[in-house]
Structure 1
């Protein structure tokens, strides 16, 4: 258990350091990555896909609005539903940062043998299944 926590912490720190080079927090990156190549999503959908809590998500969206990377839209047919969409600038950030970040992480995973990666995939899948109902 301890090794899993340490691996997660190492991965998170490595990932976060790279994301911060783009003047984004990890939560902001998660939202941008989630909204990329979509027509937008409700706050609830973003929360489910990113696992960011509702209170935290509101602040993240507010800061992304200040950076002019997302907008909130209220559909005329359902005024209770708020849709968050990337702005053209937000889409540009997604197109620049997302592939760069994937490539950055991929470089670390390539240090493992393909057989080790396959074993890791199988074991992580089994671990996930152990915690599902």
Structure 2
């Protein structure tokens, strides 16, 4: 049971990150989920909803609603997949790409203000530890 304090710290760290990140995204008019989708689609060719779900942290049930709202705002477009008419291809519109080009570097800079408090070695160690933790599950 010595892992229980680690789980608590992991959850607290994620909650702190989410609060820090979400407050900035809210100030620029986006949710974490919307940003995740826009960031994933930015500078990329169209992808299926399945691919988008796999590349983001968005569950299938949530993805549908968020895509509908982003499409309604003119940020993304969904078109029938020419290779498989049962699926749709999702991409950013021109307005969506412009939004990506504005908010992505802005948010990365914002996150960088927190991460710059760590040394390069600490970042590398954290990355290794998190990858090791992910791999055991």
TM superposition shift of 1:113 = 2.3
Is 17-26 or 57-66 further displaced after alignment? 17-26
Given candidates 69, 72, 81, the residue that maps to 1:66 is 72
TM-score by length of 2: 0.89
Q: Are residues 1:129 and 2:135 paired? A: yes
Is 5-14 or 119-128 further displaced after alignment? 119-128
TM superposition shift of 1:77 = 4.7
| 1:108-133 deviation digits (Å, cap 9, x = unpaired) | 111112232222122112212222xx
1:104-123 equivalences in 2 (<5 Å) = 104-123=110-129
In structure 1, list runs of 5 or more residues that go unmatched.
none
Number of residue pairs aligned between Structure 1 and Structure 2: 131
In structure 2, list runs of 5 or more residues that go unmatched.
1-6
| 1:5-57 deviation digits (Å, cap 9, x = unpaired) | 10110001101111111211111111111111112111111111113122211
Q: Name the counterpart of 1:99.
A: 105
1:1-133 equivalences in 2 (<5 Å) = 1-131=7-137
Provide the rounded CA distance (Å) in 2 between the counterparts of 1:85 and 1:111. Answer: 35
Is 29-38 or 121-130 further displaced after alignment? 121-130
TM-score by length of 1: 0.91
